[in-house]
Chains A and B, each alone.
Chain A
Amino acid sequence: MNFLRIAVILLLFTCFNIIVFGASLAHAHKISVFAWVEGDTIHTQSKFYGGKKIKNARIVIYDETGKQIDEGITDENGESSFPLGVKPPITIVVDAGMGHQGQWTIEKSDAGEPLVVETPANPPPAPSTGGQSVEPSFVSDYASNGCADVCEETLMQFYAVVDEIVDEKLSGMLSRLESGQDKQGPDMTQIFGGIGYIFGLAGVAAYVHSRRQNRNNH
């Protein structure tokens, strides 16, 4: 049976590809959503394949257990923001309608752990640099002046400011990185690779067919 043979070849080919590319299929979506945490806010960005922004799409946020915690709509730039209600991991699903859906998970490590501020009364073990402290000078100034409360407060403020600045700089970087990744669309290698695969398959089918014809002729 000729068609059975072709069907088997097609099936084997599909299975082979699923096995080979299996790992990447988990993230196989036509639309992409990208999310990051800035301070106590989640920012999301959604795009179609090729870079077109998805407007007015529904965004749903799920926690670790799959419980819905928030939902919203993307704006003109395909962006939306939510308060960070629960601790990561959080999954963000964008539903652009018409069967288009994509998701992104913010892992625990992406969000950063809340800072634990060490008070100078309980300083971190100094590295073996002859008992020299590596803390900023103003910290030791405060410590030597014996104003632990003021010190703690200042440190907290200091850390909060640093945190804010780093978040701000990182968010710009992240979104630039993301837009660069997504805009280029399909690759020439992929396109010609795909055409090559199809021609190859047609060749295999023709080969199987001609073998069968030869056998019938003998």
Chain B
Amino acid sequence: MHISEGVLSAPVLISGAILAAGGTAIGLKQLDYEKIARVGILSSAFFIAALIHVNIGPSSVHLVLNGLIGLMLGWSVFPAILTALVLQALFFQFGGITTLGINTFNLALPPLLCYFMFRKLLWRRKHVGLAAAFLCGFLSVFLSAILVGASLIFTEKNFWETASILVAANFPVMVIDGIITGFCVGFIQKVHPSLLPGYNP
């Protein structure tokens, strides 16, 4: 999911950086005192998740967990993922500094969309809520794979081929991410429901 340095052309990098900067600005603006610690903890979770590699299929893929982070942070998913990506680039050489913008955008936009799609559904009947959480984790990785494919469109030329390889390679991750998100949401609903969006006691 992390695009390396030297793969993309300048226009893609620059537009990615602008979009990520916009998202980060909105995310920081909505960051209140209560949320700061949550952003920090979820950002570290994202930072670590990328180290858990799933060696299924042709490529080397890792957990993403962006769906869970998006569901719990809303717009603040942008600064959380940006911070984690900076540190991943510096410590593990995942992605790169020039691709920070586009990588942040690719990984933060899908969970934000899922946040708006699923936040209301979380508090329906129990099974609907869990299914919504699973879909949130699943779709976030799926849409991120599509966005990475779209970013590579000027380099790899054949969008459908690249996107389908990406989706196929990341399919196990989508399922695992979905299950983890479902478990986490189920657990948080029991112990600390006010952490989740749309909670009305």
Contact = CB atoms under 8 A, between A and B. Distances in A.
Interface of A: 3, 6-7, 10, 13-14, 17-18, 21, 25, 27-31, 48-50, 52, 55-56, 96-103, 185-186, 190-191, 193-195, 197-199, 201-203, 205-206, 209-210, 213
A206 B5 CA distance: 33
B94 A198 contact: no
B90 interface: yes
Contacts of B36: 202, 205-206, 209
A18 B84 contact: no
Contacts of B24: 7
Chain B contact patch, size range: 35 or more
Among B55, B79, B82, chain A packs the most CB atoms within 10 A around the CB of B79
Contact of B28 (A7, A13, A21, A52): A7
A29 B40 CA distance: 26
B4 A99 contact: yes
A97 B58 CA distance: 11
A61 to B, nearest CB: 16
Contacts of B18: none
Given A3-B29, A202-B40, A99 B151 contact: yes
Given A10-B79, A190-B91, A209-B36, A102 B44 contact: no
Given A17-B86, A49-B93, A198-B87, A3 B40 contact: no
B44 A198 contact: yes
- The DSSP consensus for interface residues of chain A is helix
Given A21-B90, A198-B43, A98 B166 contact: yes
B96 interface: yes
B60 A28 contact: no
Given A3-B28, A50-B53, A202-B39, A195 B83 contact: no
B5 A29 contact: yes
Contacts of A7: 24-25, 28
A14 B86 CA distance: 7
Nearest to A17: B90
> Which A-B residue pairs are the 6 nearest by beta carbons?
A202-B40, A99-B3, A48-B60, A3-B28, A190-B91, A28-B93
Contacts of B7: 99-101
Nearest to A27: B93
B92 A49 contact: yes
A198 B93 contact: no
Given A97-B156, A194-B87, A6 B44 contact: no
Interface in B1-55: 2-8, 24-25, 28-29, 31, 33, 36-37, 39-41, 43-44, 47-48, 51, 53, 55
12 contacts: A7-B25, A28-B97, A30-B2, A30-B93, A48-B59, A98-B165, A98-B166, A100-B4, A101-B4, A103-B6, A193-B91, A201-B83
Contacts of B179: none
Nearest to A103: B6
Contacts of A99: 2-4, 7-8, 148, 151-152, 155
A98 B7 CA distance: 10
Interface in B152-185: 152, 155-156, 162, 165-166, 169
B197 interface: no
A30 B47 contact: no
B33 A195 contact: no
Given A3-B29, A190-B92, A201 B40 contact: yes
